A and B are shown apart, each in its own frame.
Chain A
Amino acid sequence: MEENQLSDQEILERFRQEATKEEAFSLLMRKYQERLYWHIRKMVTFHEDADDALQNTFIKVWHALSGFRQQSQLYTWLYRIATNEALALIRQRKKKATARSLDDEEHPIHIRLAADPYFSGQEADRLLQEAIDTLPEKQRAVFTMRYYDAMKYEEIAAILETTTGGLKANYHHAAKKITDYLKAHLNPSA
Chain B
Amino acid sequence: MAKPSTYRPREITDELKAIAPMLAEGFQRHPWSLPTGYFNQLEQQVRNRITVKHQVPEGYFEQLPDQVMARIRASEQAQAIPSTNTPSANRTAEAQPVRPQAKVFVLSPQLRWAAAAAIVAIISLALIRLLNTPESNTPNATLSTTPDEAIANYVMENIDQWNTEELAKHADISDITLIDSTATQNLEEYLIQDTDISELEDLL
Contacts and interface: CB of A to CB of B under 8 A. Distances in A.
Interface residues of B, number: 35
A146 B8 CA distance: 9
B30 to A, nearest CB: 8
Given A33-B42, A47-B34, A120-B33, A139 B198 contact: yes
Contact of B32 (A51, A118, A136, A169): A118
B16 A175 contact: yes
A146 B1 CA distance: 23
A175 B23 contact: yes
Interface stretch (B44-52, B105-113, B136-144, B151-159): B44-52
Interface string B76-107: 00000000000000000000000000000000
Contacts of B27: 121, 124-125, 128
B134 interface: no
B180 interface: no
B12 interface: yes
B43 interface: yes
Interface stretch (A6-14, A55-63, A76-84): A55-63
Contacts of A66: none
Given A121-B28, A150-B9, A37 B23 contact: no
A147 interface: yes
Contact of A183 (B1, B9, B22, B196): B22
A170 B12 CA distance: 15
Interface in B189-204: 196-199, 201-202
A59 B49 contact: yes
A120 B27 CA distance: 12
Contacts of A176: 19-20
Given A29-B46, A136-B202, A146-B12, A179 B22 contact: yes
A29 B45 CA distance: 12
A25 B132 CA distance: 81
B31 A125 contact: yes
B3 to A, nearest CB: 8
A55 B198 contact: no
Given A124-B27, A137-B202, A173 B196 contact: yes
A146 B13 CA distance: 10
B32 A119 contact: yes
Interface of A: 26, 29-30, 33-35, 37-38, 41-42, 47, 50-51, 54-55, 58-59, 62, 118-122, 124-125, 128, 136-139, 146-148, 150, 166, 169-173, 175-176, 178-179, 182-183
24 contacts: A29-B46, A30-B43, A34-B39, A41-B32, A41-B34, A55-B42, A55-B45, A58-B46, A59-B46, A118-B33, A119-B31, A120-B28, A121-B27, A121-B31, A125-B27, A136-B198, A136-B199, A136-B202, A137-B202, A148-B29, A176-B20, A178-B23, A179-B20, A179-B22
Given A33-B39, A41-B32, A139-B198, 12 more contacts: A37-B34, A38-B4, A38-B32, A41-B34, A47-B34, A120-B32, A121-B31, A139-B202, A148-B29, A148-B30, A179-B20, A182-B22
